[in-house]
Amino acid sequence: MALKGVATQGLALQQRRIGLTGGIASGKSSVGQLLASRFGLPVLDADLYAREALAPGTQASAAVLARYGAAVLANPDAEPEATPTAAAVAIDRAALGRLVFADAAERQWLETLIHPQVRRRFDLELARLETAPVVVLMIPLLFEAGLEELCSEVWLVDCDPEQQLNRLIGRDRLSEADARARISAQWPLARKRALADVVIANRGSPDQLPAAVQRALLTRAD
């Protein structure tokens, strides 16, 4: 995979950076947990950084509250304090998700707000882990956000469209329409499949995943 810019320089020491991606509910988190718990690798989680960016008291949280108001308050009976970054004001992420996945313009606004903060957090963590031989970057929107340049290889966790839909409905208790809207907000798995260096099939039972992950580690290490 071609690398660009600063990221290429950062890989001069031959650090192996695995970009772990996939579609929503395809099984990225399960693979990430395996890489951390069974193989002892540091896993940098874009979703975690995005949640931290929207924590009470952050600038991003204040911006979201200014835009959507009570519609995204975790406790709608509590009025936001006078200070827009007041630590007591929390965002209802499910309510925010319903808003932005129903409107592409609102989703783009939120991504423009959050993605730079997530990228800065990745840069900080990669600098901290610069001597680690292998680092995993778990990024659901890796291709959509153009973050391939951070990685020396990209793994895609893959499954069938119906599996993805059913897993998402069951996991997040969404209606079929809401689940399809969230899936369609990302690139389809078929498009990502053509761009990935490694494809990990997650179509079977969970006990099949460890062997697939181990094969991927050994294959790309050669």
For 120-154, what is each residue's pLDDT tens digit? Answer: 999 999 999 999 999 999 999 999 999 999 999 99
79 pLDDT band, cuts 50/70/90, is low
Amino acid at 91: I
Per-residue tokens: 38: 């069974």
Separation CA 81–CA 87 (nearest Å): 9
Q: What is the pLDDT of residues 172-211, one digit of tens each?
A: 999 999 999 999 999 999 999 999 999 999 998 888 999 9
Average pLDDT, the chain: 88
Identify the CA nearest to 161 among candidates 191, 189, 187: 189
pTM given for the model? 0.85
Question: What is the radius of gyration, based on Cα positions, of the chain?
Answer: 18
The CATH homologous superfamily for domain 15-42+129-222 is P-loop containing nucleotide triphosphate hydrolases (3.40.50.300)
Query: CB of 151 within 8 A of CB of 15?
Result: no
Helix orientation angle between 59-68 and 93-101, rounded to the nearest 10 degrees: 60
Helix orientation angle between 93-101 and 104-128, rounded to the nearest 10 degrees: 120
101's CB contacts (< 8 A; 6+ apart) are 107, 178, 181, 182, 185
Share of the chain above pLDDT 70, in %: 87
Per-residue tokens: 79: 């009025």
* Dihedral angle, C-alpha 138, 144, 147, 148, nearest 10 °: 90
pLDDT surpassing 50 at residue 85: no
Give residue 8's pLDDT: 40
207's CB contacts (< 8 A; 6+ apart) are none
Which sequence spans correspond to the domains of the chain?
15-42+129-222, 53-114
Range ranked top by mean pLDDT from 13-17, 84-88, 188-192 = 188-192
